[in-house]
Structure 1
């Protein structure tokens, strides 16, 4: 089951460091990619141990952040709308266990009604855990 999280308490130490509250700790993040807009409205993180994948909306601008995760033989999508909201998945959820020793593709983008895949950026990382 996919889980969505509202990140409460935006005015906290996390904001002071530029991080979203409730997002993974910097030490736990193996990979990061942001949307291609000038002031990135979306960010995605991948942590190899446990296959934790996050997408977070960073701005209250009417756009939502989306993430497509895909590899040879599978895929899934996450989406979070509203500043400070994140959607996450991990290996314990059906369909979200990523293959080991394989390249995983990530496409992060912004979307709203009538405008899919705006400011998209892709990344490919090797999952060696």
Structure 2
């Protein structure tokens, strides 16, 4: 995981990689780049991102392949690096690219946990 002071990016110690072996394998696919927008003040981020960080660790993803963008907020809304470039308005958001092409995206919430939803989207995109 990229070097950061964000608590949300500390891998969840109780996350069970063996129970999500397929997702871990998919996330560890070579040549993927991860862009992660998160914030410690965000309840959805605190709930979902630590498991994602644990999955990336379990997958052996090179920290240089994970780009972290801390999100702040004020009376005008959320702001942070790369939000306009990647059209990010909800957090957490994770964008996965290969060679600059977006393969998968997770935004804020889904019927499945972030790790599972993103791995399924990646599996569909790389078939």
- TM-score, normalisation: structure 1: 0.30
More helix by percentage: 2
Higher relative contact order (CA 8 A, sep 6+): 2
- TM-score, normalisation: structure 2: 0.30
